[in-house]
Amino acid sequence: MNNKKVVSFLPYIAVIGILLLLISSRFTSNAKSFTYNEFLNKADKIEFKSAEMSMGTTVIDISGTYMEKGKEVGFMVSVPNTESNVETLTKTFQKNKKMKLVVNDPNRENFLMSFLMNILPFIFIAGIAFFMFSKMNAGGNNKAFEFSKSKARMEGNIKVRFKDVAGCDEEKEEVKEIIDYLKDPKRFTDMGARIPKGMLMVGPPGTGKTLLAKAVAGEADVPFFSISGSDFVEMFVGTGASRVRDMFKKAAQAAPCIVFIDEIDAVGRQRGAGMGGGNDEREQTLNQLLVEMDGMGENKGIVIIAATNRPDVLDPALLRSGRFDRQITVNLPDKRGRYEILKVHARNKKLAADVNLENLAKRTPGFSGADLENVLNEGAILAVRGKRKIITLDDLDEAIDRVMMGPAKKSKKYSDKEKRLVAYHEAGHAVIGLKLESADNVEKVTIIPRGEAGGYNMMIPGEEKMFPTKADFMGQITGLMGGRVAEEVIFDEISAGASNDIQKATKIAKAMVRSWGMSSLGPIQYDDGTGNVFLGRDYSSGSNYSGEIAYEIDKEIRKIINECHEQAKQIILENKDLLTLIADTLVEEETITSEQIMNLMNYGTLDNPNEEKKQTIEKLEADATDVFETERVEEQTAANELAESELDEALKELTKDDFHDEN
């Protein structure tokens, strides 16, 4: 048994032991107990010292002491309450005039002791029953009286500040007026202004929505209630609505405060879109949330902040003015934002001197704040695993690969044929990146397996754009086709290794035709624009175009893919020697960097010969400088020695002349 469980039972064991001791002390004594006949036979022969008679209705309880062999001994006896017995006992005890006789009325006994002795067994049994039931409820987690209580957790004295939230400067500007309102609401009410009751933060996972909400509470120095949307809904009808009421009641008591509801789409989905009818528990919870938000007074000081990455499924009533008045989009950070985020998370990291966070930010497009934090954390773990005192650039490079693709499977061995196939596949992507201007730049190529991929090619955009053009998308698709085309050209065969490339290319082509109007079908949107499918809403809705248009869409998608495939094939055929050179290098080295790839393209080797010449010249110049300095020092030393010797000779001559003059 666990020691903690034993310790938890000790108070109960102690109480039970004390109770048993009290009960036993009540009924056990060292006094000698006589029977009625024994007492009558010995009464005349005993020298009594004291006696106490308790006159009951039918029985007389007698206790006292008598002398036996020079010692005082206690006795107890019960005799029938008759007139003859009373007279006999009175005469017996009165024979010794020094004896102390006390006659008690049983109706005047200690009422408290009598009450305790009568009621104590029942209290004891009730306590055991309560203890057993409480343990059963705790073990089964059946807290019946807590179903309707809110699960919102209140945090006070929040330490997070705006300086801890990087990469979202515009979003911080949007929420600053909320902070001013929570600090001094009178300024706004005097002006007749109404601060939004609710703010909805929308953005991909890991972009810092929760952290930003905490920073608002930290800057305003107000309590912070946090709860998830799924915490409202239970299997019991009415529980969610009751929890909503309880949450707003607690928030009103702690006002001014911030209530943060994470993943609000779990409870705020559109009503009437459920597969099992509209009157379910979730919709009742949503109705109560709508009522509570609309019923908040102007000066209650409660600000609701919610977060979701699926705003398209939220009920329109939740987004109307007076509820979630303001919608703040927290997007993935750009290069500068990633650099600021890395600086925040690198505060407690011991980085090597050659680690440049700006370069690291450049190499991680599309990473969220959580991904960047994970990169630095993985780098620190790798440094500890390698027993290093600092986090090196190699650690961070491996960490980026781990976050993107998973750990390297170095134990997985290719056959020679498979290794060449993967090398040419990845080299095909690299050649397209090098030779096609609109394609993404090649940052790193490896044939070490990671995750489901046999190798991968890290390609980053040359410039991060808010509005990519059709040429940009065509360049991306062409780059994705490079590996497949290289297999066709070199091996006259295709493998399943390009499945992920084909999936990405098809997705881009579909979006070009259906969403962005980048085809001959014109600037018409043929999808619903809601992104992910919401089954309850989209199950019964048909497409908004005819079957003929669907056929045309398929033709346009195929046309885009075929054009990019042919362009990739042309580039590969024109640069077949470069393709073979990169593939052969990959077979030998397994991983090559962007700088090495550029050297292969420009000089045919991994190293830059001009750089080697430059280093050689610099070394020769440094050696020549050292020789010149050495010769100069030697000449100066020789001149100094000559001057010293001439000075010594002059002094000797002078001394000799002075000696002759004295003579």
Annotated binding site for Zn(2+): 425, 429, 501
Which two tokens mark 13?
């064991």
Q: Tell me the C-alpha distance between 373 and 357, whole Å.
A: 12
Q: Which residues contact 453 (CB under 8 A, 6 or more apart)?
A: 405, 500
Nearest CA to 368 out of 336, 331, 417 is that of 331
Q: Is 210 helix (H, G, I), strand (E, B) or coil?
A: helix
Binding-site entries: 203-210, 425, 429, 501
What residue has token string 């009178």? 186
Q: Tell me the C-alpha distance between 592 and 581, whole Å.
A: 12
Return the exposure string of 603-616: e unless at least 16 CB atoms fall within 10 Å of the residue's CB, then b. Answer: eeeeebeeeeeeee
Cα four-point dihedral sign 420, 426, 430, 432: positive
Q: What is the DSSP code string of 600-638?
A: HHHHSSSS-HHHHHHHHHHHHHHHHHHHHHHHHHHHHHH
Q: Which residues contact 374 (CB under 8 A, 6 or more apart)?
A: 399, 403
234 is catalytic: no
Nearest CA to 226 out of 152, 138, 304, 136 is that of 152
What residue has token string 């005082």? 72
Q: Tell me the C-alpha distance between 324 and 42, whole Å.
A: 98
Query: Among 219, 283, 373, 426, which one carries the catalytic annotation?
Result: 426
Cα four-point dihedral sign 518, 521, 527, 529: positive
Which two tokens mark 526?
């043929």
3-state helix, strand, coil in the chain (%, to 5): 55, 15, 30
Checking DSSP bridges between strand 257-262 and strand 198-202, what pairing results, if any?
unpaired
Binding-site entries for ATP: 203-210
Q: What is the CA radius of gyration of the chain?
A: 46
What residue has token string 């009641």? 249
**Residues with catalytic roles:** 426
